[in-house]
Amino acid sequence: MLNVERAAGTDPIQRNLFRLLFVSVAGVLAPVTIAVAAIAFLWTPQTSVGSVNAGPVEDYNLLDMVLFEEGEFYLTRLPDRFLAINQRSTHMRCKVAWDAPSRQFISPCDGSVFDDKGEVVRGPAPRPLGTHAITIENGELIIEVGDENVRKRDKYDPGQGAEIG
């Protein structure tokens, strides 16, 4: 730790000026440091566009919720269809976390809550989590990923998922 007394010498005026300078620099640096840390936390690079093979349909049990970190989506099996839910919240793009006991997604940035289909339970998130197109090819689940493939929506509709044949 910096010793203000020694750095400023013994002159009281010089010592007070040094203290003022020290407090001023610290007062400017602290908010800048906090702002840089906040931007670094919230800044999110784009997910590359492409597709993810999530494996065979029969690998999933009813109401499973599986995170695919690479593609930034959760895949869930509903009674009659699969739904791929984008992991980025619709407010500041924070990655939501799945809370299995409550069967809800929670945004770590502001506590917004979404249900198991991605609809808003509690804001400030303005709209449901986005979805991704799913196709089932030869019994395998193919999910279109990347920011350009995230589909915005105002509410859940079964057509947003892929029906199990």
Compute the distance between CA of residue 120 and CA of residue 126 in angstroms, rounded to an integer.
8
Span from 20-28, 33-41, 105-113, 151-159 in contact with ligand FES (CB under 6 A): 105-113
When asked if residue 162 is in the footprint of ligand FES (CB under 6 A), the reply is no
DSSP state of 114: E
Q: Smallest distance from the beta carbon of 121 to ligand FES, in angstroms? A: 11
Compute the distance between CA of residue 117 and CA of residue 120 in angstroms, rounded to an integer.
9
CA angle 132, 135, 138 (to 5 degrees): 150
Task: Retrieve residue 101's tokens.
Answer: 């006991």
Q: Smallest distance from the beta carbon of 46 to ligand FES, in angstroms? A: 17
When asked if residue 107 is in the footprint of ligand FES (CB under 6 A), the reply is yes
Span from 48-56, 109-117, 142-150, 154-162 in contact with ligand FES (CB under 6 A): 109-117
